[in-house]
Each structure stands twice: as structure tokens, then as C-alpha cells.
Amino acid sequence: GEDVEQSLFLSVREGDSSVINCTYTDSSSTYLYWYKQEPGAGLQLLTYIFSNMDMKQDQRLTVLLNKKDKHLSLRIADTQTGDSAIYFCAEAQYALNFGKGTSLLVTP
Amino acid sequence: DGGITQSPKYLFRKEGQNVTLSCEQNLNHDAMYWYRQDPGQGLRLIYYSQIVNDFQKGDIAEGYSVSREKKESFPLTVTSAQKNPTAFYLCASSIIGDTQYFGPGTRLTVL
């Protein structure tokens, strides 16, 4: 099947904003998700956006959706060292179709 | 305390052995899923189930088997036919068509 694409690595300084990008495949996906994975742990749901929305904000997290380009982004404001993790975007079909994940490294 | 539990956290298997990974949820979710994660890879779907006594193959079902005898339980057996079973296995559950919630995972290592 087609792949959900994400850049593999991102490094930011503490206090800066992080932007993680994702290109998905299925224009009929009703929900798009962002999950966070810390080392050795399961996936934690961060946020999601319904396909009829352009933007969703939840505290430090902002999700932008461009349906025309099938592009999804996650912005983390005031990034902290505790935000260092792997971030997965996923599109909902009969199950979830995941990207390979973006490793975010936050440096002091 | 509600949620999804997986056991064991770490599992070691000799070549040629079958092993079973446990996944239990008390969220009253109808749907349950098994994913496999390899280093540097996203999650790939092994099997999923939307109702008791029924399940469907995912993208990489070969060498795996599942059962769904109870709503709250969805065990995964990694058989000796699975050529490269060393991986991190994640179970998830959801209301059908809704957000999936994940367990803490089981790391399987073949010795």
C-alpha cells in the first residue's frame, strides 16, 4: 500500500517551536492522528483532527490540515526536553495507517 | 483502573517455539488490534477484530494467529512460521471507527 510520509529526525532548542510534517495517502480518511512514543513505551494519543477541519489547537499543540495537498502538521509551542520522543502521524482507514515516525530531540 | 494491559513486558523465545502475547482491555471496546513495530519503522497491522469470535488479517499476518473468545481479550500467538519475530508488539483497542488506545507493548526477542 501507499506510505504515510514523515521526516525522520528533528532537532530543536528548548523553548523554540517544533513543527513535524506528514503527508498522508487517503483523501477519504475521516480522522488523522498524532501519537507520541517515548522509549520502550506504547503509543500515547496526543491529538487528532477531523477531516472537515483546517486547524485544531490544544494547549501547546496546533494541528494544521491541508486536504488539497494531503498534508498534516503538528506544531509544539515552547518545546521542552520532556517532548523528546518519536511522533507518529496516522490516518484512519479500517485500522490505522502509520508513518515511520519523526524522532524529536530537544536540546537545552 | 481502566485501560489496556499487555503481558509480559519482555519475552524471550527460542527458535522453533510458539509464544503467546496477552492483551486485555476493560474499556468495553468492541475493536482490538495487533501491530508490530521494528526499529525505525512505523507500526504495521497484524490482525484486528471488531467483534467476538471474528477477526481479520492485516498487512503482515503470516506466521501469526489470534483468537477473540472474549470481548476484553485478544491474544496473539507468534508461531515458528514467523521468520523474523524479534520486534516490539503493540495492542490497541477502540470503539469501532473511533480513536485507538494503545497498551504498553511487549518486546519479543528470539534467541
Look at residue B15 in the predicted model and tell me its pLDDT: 87
Mean pLDDT, residues B48-59 taken together: 96
**Least CB-CB distance to A42: which of B33, B40, B90?**
B90
Secondary structure of B17-68 in the HEC alphabet? CCEEEEEEECCCCCEEEEEEECCCCCEEEEEEEEECCEEEECCCCCCEEECC
Look at residue A95 in the predicted model and tell me its pLDDT: 80
For residue range A24-59, what is the model confidence (pLDDT) as tens digits? 988 788 899 999 999 889 999 999 999 889 999 999
Please name the residue that has the C-alpha cell 477502540: B94
Q: Give A96's contacts in chain B (Cβ within 8 Å).
A: 33, 43, 45, 92, 100
pLDDT at residue A1 tops 50: no
What is the rounded distance in angstroms from the CA atom of residue B80 to the CA atom of residue B95? 32
Are residues B61 and B48 in contact, defined by beta-carbon separation less than 8 angstroms? no
Mean pLDDT, residues B20-42 taken together: 94
Q: Percent of chain B scored above 90 by pLDDT?
A: 83
**Least CB-CB distance to B102: which of A40, A42, A48?**
A42
Q: Give A41's contacts in chain B (Cβ within 8 Å).
A: 104-105
